[in-house]
Amino acid sequence: MDKDGYISNGELYQVLKLMRNMKLLEFYNKRIHAITICVNKQSIIDHINDALNEVGLGDSVCADDMIDIVDGYIGLGYGLSTPEEQEFIQSVSRSTGIILDPCYSGKGANGLVQELSSNPDRFQGNRILFIHTGGIFGLFDGKMDSYLKQRKHPEPVVLWKELDDLLI
């Protein structure tokens, strides 16, 4: 059964490692879908092909053979989230317990859900692995605090206190 891998893409090292391992393991019928969250598609393709050439794989594989760069989900830009993206992150957390950050994994998962709805033929198989690359610390920069405070939940979210506010 064909499977697809899906990853948020800010730095290309994760994607390059996946491509290298797929090549070494001869997973030629698999495809990586990388959602770009900070640069355009052509820049990523060029960078990947340059890296493949540097490590001596440029003659046997190119980026277009193994990767589908998904454009259109940068939103307000790197590290910035729209209210819709913030709501998506909250919804996923409430319904699944999976924590997404407002930069990489949040935009990546949101893009995946939208692509599954609007463009399901993009994916080869009916099993897709979303690779959560972390980014949990993006939740602690205070950017989502005002959004969390305005939400009306039966169990209010308690925000982290400043060290000066703690009684030790």
Determine the Cα–Cα distance for residues 164 and 59; give it in Å rounded to an integer: 58
Name the amino acid, one letter, at 20: R
pLDDT cut 90: percent of the chain above it: 4
Does residue 8 contact residue 133 with C-beta atoms inside 8 Å?
Answer: yes
Determine the Cα–Cα distance for residues 134 and 84; give it in Å rounded to an integer: 21
Of 87-91, 113-117, 120-124, where does mean pLDDT reach its minimum?
120-124
Instruction: Please list, in sequence order, all residues whose beta carbon lies within 8 angstroms of the beta carbon of residue 19, skipping any fewer than 6 positions away.
Output: 32, 48, 52, 61, 63, 66, 67
pTM greater than 0.75: no
In the chain, what are the domains? 3-165 (3.40.50.1100)
Residue range 125-156, pLDDT digits in tens: 777 878 787 777 766 777 666 666 666 555 54
Instruction: Please list, in sequence order, all residues whose beta carbon lies within 8 angstroms of the beta carbon of residue 103, skipping any fewer than 6 positions away.
Output: 10, 37, 78, 79, 81, 135, 138
Determine the Cα–Cα distance for residues 42 and 65; give it in Å rounded to an integer: 14
Predicted pLDDT of residue 20: 61
Kindly tell me if the per-residue pLDDT of 157 is higher than 60: no
Residue range 56-101, pLDDT digits in tens: 877 877 878 778 888 888 888 877 888 899 889 888 888 888 888 8
Residue range 23-45, pLDDT digits in tens: 655 555 567 788 887 777 888 88
